[in-house]
Structure 1
């Protein structure tokens, strides 16, 4: 376009609108990093949405903006402005009237001056007493009349945004008729009647008063209820004296006609239909400007909208999702860029669910098994940067599953899980078909007798129990994250590289419990005291005995000596320093594992003297080993020891 000058600059209002959508895998990895550092799984997932992925704005930033806007609204002005303005106008009217009376020299003028001098200090009472006063000054009378007319107009305008034109014409009869019809409509809706036709008739008759053009009775109620709640909050926000003054002025402004009662009835109907709105909450607003009735109610209505938006952005209620956030309300209050941020976060949440990275349960979103596998792989990759390519399998003479191919094959039998030898299988089918002269060789059709499986080297399987300390000291001393990372990495290693092994993760505090990968990732520290290694070793023994013939491996990660054990009734007893009964019960489980042939290796975190004495005795009794790694090296030690241990007894 000739003659036009264009200037370009960097985009400054949030993320680049032309940028590609969020990388879902990167978002999952970001959550995984927090979990591996020891954070709670649900917190990591929630914070991804609250803080936003890298280089993106999340709900927290939008919520902070809404809070700042709310603080600004609270400083907008003085809610008592309607009464203050009425007082100012009354003083102006009285001053004008006194000037007129002072210029007259008759008894009526002196009498009127006495009446004015003895008016009550209360603005509303003074206005009430002047209702029958015979004004000498037409200008003063007009100012006085404007006090009530203006307030009446503000009241109705605040309740009905489309009333301005009708009020300018001074036609309050139409307003009263509309409010009467509206109350009839609301009453029918409250009784559960079908109001579709009644709403259509009402809008055909009074639609000019509702420029927002509600499409059904619920939209109409929502709009009117918010305005009515804002008016109620205004009254609740005033002091008792201010409230009494304003209410009295409003009653005088609305007069003795039907409109005052109709508006009160409308408020009652709306409160019953929308009880969840903040009808009775007051606010302490401060500011230098005196806000009129309409402006004050509008400010409180805006604060109420921001309160609702803050609640939506907070996502604090159970089962909360981004679908609960009203994007239109975000755009009205915070702007289009903020609404786009919410839409992008919604899309991220949907993609996380669509691609199977997260699942929803009764408490909200949680990572799916797919995401947990990726989390375990991330943990394993970090550890394998330090661990060499140690493999750990050893050969056996008989062919079987889970080893390398040895070049021979055999007929398939029911239950075989070895890989198929495709070449020999097809060859068998072709030769069989070729021997049948009455059947064409092609196409090749397979039958059960044609299948052959490739023989493999046999690898020994292992049954592994990893017992991890969940006592609060692990969290307090910064060992919670490395513990989780180690357990997840070992779980991933077994699942991917040694699927014939049977791994059980056992967490122990005051009690011990078997944990799945997901349960481990979501485990949070508690303040409950107790290190019940005896219970953990008992569960480990049960796990080993369920897999006879496999190489038994027991690994223990702990930072404290045993301080709890199970009584015969199954209840845990905690005491520190450890009771002799606790030590005896724990050693008994060690002996049971030793007799079964399991080697128990302990990874001791910290330098507690009691723990050192205890694990030293366990090692001598069982023949296992004791490691004392730093927390950051825990994963490398455990993975390396597992790979060594599963090579089998020497």
Structure 2
């Protein structure tokens, strides 16, 4: 309306609903940064969701909120309030009755009743039971006593069925019969479901007949079971949370409140059915609750139900079990317990995970999420870009990615394009052919297939490269794990994109050696097993070189320790520290094999290990290779630069 003034402020209930969705590529890059820093691939993906992308909240924050709410719920009050309230009402009823009996001094029956009251048991439940046939003189006392059982009965049934409040006013036989009929029909429905029978029509008939008792309006039998099972489990947890004496007192009071009719047995049968259908709920777990308030039966079970749901939420938000996915999280429960903002956070993270999968950045296997080949290529490109950035800034070389590793060197001539040609187009001569065909001044210039020419090149020699990287635990402990991964991923991407005629094999070695793909390298974790088996790594490198006999053989070794393990004749690894002469001899034998094959063998020594220094110097002299001692942050630049130099031809 005219004249109205409005004031706008920042959104305060969770993430901004108008904010753009998560940047999926930025999320992939964030995972890449973690991997290149040495973090395990799966851990990096899990941490992305647990901590949230840079612009959002993650699962850890939501789990912390759930933990705080659980702690607050445990301080809500004492669980024995139902028994305490019964005792208070009993005391009020007895006091009112005594007042009435004192007003009848000449009544012998009054004196007898006083004797009955004087000899009541100390147990509340037994006292209530003994007074069940007592002829009350005071109407007030009778009404107060009746509240003990009627109130507990109402709380017990209301706790199990949310829509029972209207049906449980007083002791109306018709209402009791309606409740008993409903519970009987419910047990029949659950029995059919438990036996695997089709319950679609039976559920619709049940809801048409008894739907007023279920205001939550479950859509199917599974939703009905979920709701009832959580309530039943909360009631069971209340009994487990009480001391044995309190438990006996409450159980006895509940039996008296439910009476001798069919309802008590039907509720017990219902609990058994629900326990069989939802065995994973916390049926038998007790809780220690403290607080100044005495909680009644309904409030106590409600608090325990919230605690149980929070426990389930924390387990779902933890995402710690194999194959965990954000689809496992009950978003409706998150909204009930943590609020709409928290539910929106989960939905955004779920959308991010789905989008990562939809766009092909991640795949899912039995162990959870892992980066796809597409994402690994992006990770390798990121690593290579960082390496070349270091190369340029340190003036260690000038490698233009646009030119490096073309299919061959241009020789200045060209020829007509033929189907299947992979040589680069000669753009100037192609356009010239089109202009001459169309005549000078003809615009626009239209290209025909016969106009195209390709530049002829001199085929560049290919190289076969084995990059042997140390996976011993010292690499991780001394902060070299991340740079090692970055180096290997960068070199792998360089070979795949700029030197496609080359063949690279990454070989990781600890106590044993093994070939590694890009994905395996990104996901590999440090192993506590001791051993640096360079002999095995060089043996695998030799096999890789011999599979490509016409290529330039290059072996690059990255290590921070001298060899401490070798393969025995039976194929088992033997470890010993300090290094045995036998280990050195077998390793040098593999060096000699590579040297005779003509391989360039260069070693990158990390750290200041004197034994390693003597070993690599001796290997370099023996093989004619070189030794580099880069700082750990310069490792990638050294390895890539040396690869580019080494593959230019035999020296």
The TM-score by the shorter chain falls in which range? over 0.9
Cα displacement (A) at 1:215? 2.3
Match of residue 405, structure 1, among 403, 410, 427: 410
Contact 1:180 1:262 in 2 (8 A): yes
Alpha-carbon distance between aligned partners in 2 of 1:227 and 1:297, rounded to the nearest angstrom: 8
Contact 1:392 1:643 in 2 (8 A): no
Unaligned runs of 5+ in 1: 433-441
Contact 1:392 1:646 in 2 (8 A): no
State the match for 1:437 in structure 2. Answer: none
Contact 2:228 2:274 in 1 (8 A): yes
Relative to structure 1, is the Cα distance of residues 426 and 544 closer, same or farther in structure 2, using a 3 angstrom cutoff?
Answer: same
Name the SS of the counterpart of 2:506 in structure 1: strand
Tell whether 2:307 aligns with 1:303.
yes
Cα displacement (A) at 1:452? 7.0
Tell whether 2:255 aligns with 1:247.
no
RMSD of aligned Cα (Å): 2.6
What are the residue-to-residue correspondences of 1:43-54 with 2, within 5 Å? 43-54=43-54
Alpha-carbon distance between aligned partners in 2 of 1:431 and 1:271, rounded to the nearest angstrom: 87
Tell whether 2:562 aligns with 1:557.
no
State the match for 2:85 in structure 1. Answer: 85
Structure-1-length-normalised TM-score: 0.92
Name the SS of the counterpart of 1:279 in structure 2: coil
Relative to structure 1, is the Cα distance of residues 451 and 3 closer, same or farther in structure 2, using a 3 angstrom cutoff?
Answer: closer
CA offsets, 1:428-455, max 9 Å, x none?
99999xxxxxxxxx99788xxx997541
CA offsets, 1:523-580, max 9 Å, x none?
1001000000000111111111122232221111111000000111111100001111
Contact 2:14 2:344 in 1 (8 A): no
Contact 2:554 2:646 in 1 (8 A): yes
Alpha-carbon distance between aligned partners in 1 of 2:390 and 2:181, rounded to the nearest angstrom: 83
Alpha-carbon distance between aligned partners in 1 of 2:201 and 2:618, rounded to the nearest angstrom: 87
Relative to structure 1, is the Cα distance of residues 612 and 9 closer, same or farther in structure 2, using a 3 angstrom cutoff?
Answer: same
What are the residue-to-residue correspondences of 1:47-196 with 2, within 5 Å? 47-106=47-106, 107-168=108-169, 170=172, 171-196=175-200
Alpha-carbon distance between aligned partners in 1 of 2:102 and 2:419, rounded to the nearest angstrom: 120
Contact 2:566 2:574 in 1 (8 A): yes
What are the residue-to-residue correspondences of 1:152-551 with 2, within 5 Å? 152-168=153-169, 170=172, 171-388=175-392, 389-391=397-399, 402-410=407-415, 417-419=422-424, 454-551=455-552
Name the SS of the counterpart of 1:457 in structure 2: strand
- Name the count of aligned residue pairs: 633
Relative to structure 1, is the Cα distance of residues 234 and 431 closer, same or farther in structure 2, using a 3 angstrom cutoff?
Answer: same
Unaligned runs of 5+ in 2: 438-445
Contact 1:401 1:457 in 2 (8 A): no
Structure-2-length-normalised TM-score: 0.92
Contact 2:464 2:553 in 1 (8 A): yes
Alpha-carbon distance between aligned partners in 1 of 2:542 and 2:419, rounded to the nearest angstrom: 33
Relative to structure 1, is the Cα distance of residues 488 and 11 closer, same or farther in structure 2, using a 3 angstrom cutoff?
Answer: same
Task: Say which is worse superposed, 600-609 or 242-251, in terms of deviation.
Answer: 600-609
Name the SS of the counterpart of 2:117 in structure 1: helix
CA offsets, 1:118-138, max 9 Å, x none?
111110011111111122211
State the match for 1:646 in structure 2. Answer: 647
CA offsets, 1:245-287, max 9 Å, x none?
0000000111111111111111112222222222222111111
Alpha-carbon distance between aligned partners in 2 of 1:392 and 1:155, rounded to the nearest angstrom: 78
CA offsets, 1:482-511, max 9 Å, x none?
111111111111112222211111100000
Contact 1:429 1:445 in 2 (8 A): no
Cα displacement (A) at 1:205? 1.9
Cα displacement (A) at 1:239? 1.3
